[in-house]
Homo-oligomer: A and B are copies of this chain.
Amino acid sequence: MTADAVTGFLEEVFPEMNRAGRIFTIDTIEPGRAIVRARTDATHLRPGGTVSGPTLFSLADFAAYVVILGHIGPQALAVTTNLNINFLTRAGPGELVARCRILKLGKRLVVTDCDITADGSDDLIAQASATYSIPPAR
């Protein structure tokens, strides 16, 4: 699936995802990879003006889902079974970029790895590996 196709699918099956305004956008989906952006605002910040852990988790989890959909097609029932996230440096407000790659594309499990940076920076804010379970084909 292309970035546009995944975006359309998600808007259809997860309309509440961007309920409070469009936060996540899909930049690109390429073989084995995807880039997803998150536009953070004040609601995503902790005291001191740093992006909250749940915001980074949500981006990592969503970006993993995007790269998986891009490779297995529309599959609303794929679910995260494990996510391990390292918080590396504090992030200020602004746009975050998640670069995801597929580590394993199995029939039952897909494993992904994501790096999160601020837009325009190479400094890592977080790194996450996620496993999704794919329901059996009917």
Contacts and interface: CB of A to CB of B under 8 A. Distances in A.
A85 B131 CA distance: 11
Query: A-side binding surface: helix, strand, loop or mixed?
Result: strand
Tell me the number of copies of this protein.
4
B131 A131 contact: yes
Interface in A43-60: 43, 45-47, 53-54, 57-58
Interface residues of A, number: 37
B82 A103 contact: no
B86 A82 contact: yes
Given A14-B46, A46-B14, A127 B113 contact: yes
7 contacts: A54-B61, A57-B57, A80-B87, A83-B85, A86-B103, A103-B127, A108-B133
